[in-house]
Homo-oligomer: A and B are copies of this chain.
């Protein structure tokens, strides 16, 4: 694969991540008995929230979520799917975890590389990579009056996002960001799936 092909590939995973997290947001919204507008709002927050927070922090232009029409479209599509199809049952339980895990890894890689490319250092890159990956779910949980799962007891999302960001940042300094993005995505996804499978959690602070 050429570098352009790889980047295109990663951007499509990014968008698939938006779609799947939007579906997840809408599913959670339906479980909370929200109306259709509520589903759309939760889908947008879940799918686009993390990237929006990152872009607002970077202040290097409006969020990609509003400048690239594919992002809103993917989020709306996610909500639409949940309204039309009964997204649940065994098929969903099998499809969701790997895509969710891949999206988390890609988002962490994309967020940390975008931060480095905007001229910031390692610490901001790790912070914004992690925020990109977990910010949407954080906001979604807050809106539904839940203590965000990221803060404790869930499947190591934040830890996996931080690990993926570390790999991406390292690869950037080694001048192999494209391969690094894939490695970061793999590391982040593997950690999420491992944590889900083995029910890992961090010690209480």
Chain A residues with a Cβ under 8 A of chain B: 26, 29-30, 32-39, 41-42, 44, 52, 56-63, 66-67, 69, 72-73, 82-83, 115, 118, 120-121, 123-124, 127-128, 142-148, 150-153, 158-159, 162, 201-205
Contacts and interface: CB of A to CB of B under 8 A. Distances in A.
Contact of A150 (B41, B72, B83, B201): B41
B35 A202 contact: yes
Contacts of A148: 143
A202 B62 contact: no
B59 A151 contact: no
A127 B65 CA distance: 11
Most buried by B among A35, A82, A142, A152: A35
Nearest to A63: B57
26 contacts: A26-B205, A34-B152, A35-B152, A35-B201, A35-B203, A35-B204, A36-B205, A37-B152, A37-B158, A38-B150, A38-B151, A39-B205, A52-B57, A56-B56, A57-B62, A57-B66, A59-B59, A59-B62, A62-B118, A66-B120, A67-B120, A69-B123, A72-B127, A82-B205, A143-B147, A145-B147
A49 to B, nearest CB: 12
Given A59-B61, A205-B82, A37 B69 contact: no
B56 A202 contact: no
Given A56-B57, A57-B66, A42 B83 contact: no
Given A35-B205, A66-B128, A201-B35, A41 B120 contact: no
Given A145-B145, A158-B41, A205-B83, A69 B35 contact: no
Nearest to A161: B37
A65 to B, nearest CB: 9
Contacts of A62: 57-60, 118, 120
B72 A35 contact: no
A41 B38 CA distance: 25
